[in-house]
A = this chain, B = another copy of it.
């Protein structure tokens, strides 16, 4: 016993020798609780290759720090019943902020990946101005104050932003890059709480991968189908960033021989024909060419039609919308087939607004994958729709902050 708390030790870079090893073992214990769930002293001792008294001592210290809880005795086939231990959900909390184009979702997550409070679709217009940044900070600040847990109980804030993000430096290259300091530091100073920035698709991906059904998968994609196309990659069981954190940019891979200029400045990007933006563009064009659709009736000016309207129309079985979403799916499938051939994943999760059309987009994607990727490889790959929807963004942001602060990931 050093008398220092887990977090004090963690922040102390000078820690060596016995204290260092104890800290490492504590991290392993917490990591086990996070990834595998509750466990007995005997379980931990066996799995982490440490003696029972040692594990018992460290677990007790973690209980003293408020991070771990004794969940009481459990059933046993025979013999004395063991106590199980696990994370203490009420010890500390994390705030996940999921920034969309026209609104923000905020979630307060506990240690065990439950969103104890959420505030969805808070009006906010994502613009690259100091005013928008101020407004964002105010929204987060008010959310924390009204959450009733007290600011000191909030260990960290995770912010999901679209575009290229370098999470290590905390810089955003697409929004709020008008000051010298990295964005994460700016928010941190405004709110007085540790803040981590993350690419939105990657954060959602982390939420999906860490939640329930998919914790055993080691190599997976999460494909975020909104106006643009984003992706989060799980490779060898780790979130993959690439050299500067720009990995996963599937939207701008050159796969078409078209002349459509993408907003990235290049031609032939996947996004030009297989994104929500492309769907909207093509839909409006077809309406203007005289195609019939239930959407057309509601909009005297076809230019006013939004992506949401088209997706709504799919659900109402509008023929034009269904036809076009299938086309988009077919093209997306070709892009995904490329990835499957290269990375041989076990799981592909489709999420984002377009994924809400269910089989209408999923089946064309599946058939394109079968057509364009090698059977031996794509047989390994399960294709599923996200079932978490908007939750995944907030939850992923909270999880990333938790796991970074506990130094379970780097």
Contact = CB atoms under 8 A, between A and B. Distances in A.
Interface stretch (A139-147, A247-255, A273-281, A291-299): A247-255
Contact of A338 (B49, B248, B253): B253
Given A264-B374, A334-B254, A376-B173, A49 B249 contact: no
Contacts of A16: 49
Contacts of A338: 253-255, 338
Nearest to A238: B236
A344 B243 contact: yes
Interface string A330-353: 000010011101111110000000
Contacts of A377: 242, 244, 246, 249
Nearest to A268: B372
Interface string A208-234: 000000000011000000000001000
Contacts of A372: 254, 266, 268
Contacts of A341: 249-250, 252-253
B337 A339 contact: no
A143 to B, nearest CB: 32
Nearest to A164: B376
A337 B254 contact: yes
A267 to B, nearest CB: 9
Interface in A344-369: 344-346
Given A235-B236, A249-B374, A254-B337, A343 B242 contact: yes
A241 interface: yes
A16 B257 CA distance: 60
Contacts of A371: 266
Contacts of A381: 243
A197 B7 CA distance: 46
A320 B17 CA distance: 67
B250 A342 contact: yes
A245 B173 contact: no
Nearest to A245: B344
A244 B20 contact: no
Contact of A253 (B17, B238, B257, B342): B342
Nearest to A220: B243
Nearest to A377: B246
Contact of A219 (B21, B243, B250): B243
Contact of A342 (B21, B248, B380): B248
Given A235-B236, A243-B346, A338-B338, A374 B252 contact: yes
Nearest to A236: B238
Max count, chain B CB within 10 A of own CB: residue among A238, A244, A249: A249
Contact of A247 (B51, B254, B343): B343
A246 B339 CA distance: 12
Contacts of A337: 253-254
A344 B241 CA distance: 8
Contact of A344 (B235, B246, B257, B374): B246
Interface in A267-321: 268
